[in-house]
Structure 1
């Protein structure tokens, strides 16, 4: 497994997490605070999150299959992009788990 697989997942986890937080804030502004203009914000961020979440799913599944993760962990990784802030915590845990593999076998990181 290449380190680039992990790096791509990490970038998408952060992008998905940030967009989901922005979407949550926008929904609060739109539905609870009745802020003018929040509808357009929610629409734009929602569409961006939706498309990028699909890319996140592909990259997370790619990482999970190459790292031979158990199904439960893979499922949690895939669902993390739908729960505000979960993507950050799951990404951190996955990275901590996989980093030692690269330290033990540097040739895997380059291959």
Structure 2
């Protein structure tokens, strides 16, 4: 058997590594974008309902809820993609989905999920 011959499972592992790496990168980017827009939304709500800033100033930031809503949908797609590639339990999916609507949670969970996903990818690469 030559050195270039790979086991039969090698193409499947390589495919998993590619898919997992891409899904992890997409999730990471969307978690940061969603989290940032959620913090901006919190500031907008405080300015609107607590500080009562004038309506002519609000028109410059009234797009934030709509942007967060649409970005959150893309975030959910990236969450589902990573979850399905990693084959995690349903509770992980629910936690990752909730992170997009709880301020600061997306940043904290992203760090944890990213580390766990990379560890799983490294484990798969070592099994080759």
Summarize the alignment of residues 48-63 of structure 1 with structure 2, pairs less than 5 Å apart. Answer: 48-63=67-82
Q: Which 5+ residue runs of structure 2 have no aligned equivalent?
A: 1-15
Counterpart CA distance in 2 for 1:87 and 1:6 is 14
Residue 38, structure 1, aligned to residue 92, structure 2? no
Q: CA RMSD in A?
A: 1.4
Are 1:69 and 2:88 an aligned pair? yes
Aligned match of 2:45: 27
Structure 1 position 105, deviation (Å): 3.1
Paired with 2:68 and 2:38, the residues of 1 have a C-alpha distance of 7
Cα displacement (A) at 1:106: 3.7
| Distance of 1:26 and 1:39 partners within structure 2 | 11
CA distance, structure 1, for counterparts of residue 123 and residue 95 of structure 2: 26
TM superposition shift of 1:40: 4.3
1:100 matches 2:119? yes
Aligned to 2:29: 11
Q: CA deviation at 1:103?
A: 1.9
**TM-superposed deviation, 1:39:** 5.1
Q: Deviations over 1:6-26 (max 9, x none)?
A: 000000000000000000011
**Length, aligned pairs only:** 106
Q: Could you say which structure has the higher helix fraction?
A: 1
Provide Cα deviations, 1:52-84, integer angstroms capped at 9, x if missing partner.
Answer: 100000110111011011111110001110011
Over 6 Å off, 4+ runs: none
Q: Counterpart of 2:111 in 1: which secondary structure?
A: helix
Q: Which has the larger radius of gyration?
A: 2
CA contact (8 A) 1:27 1:38 kept: no
TM-score (normalised: structure 1): 0.89
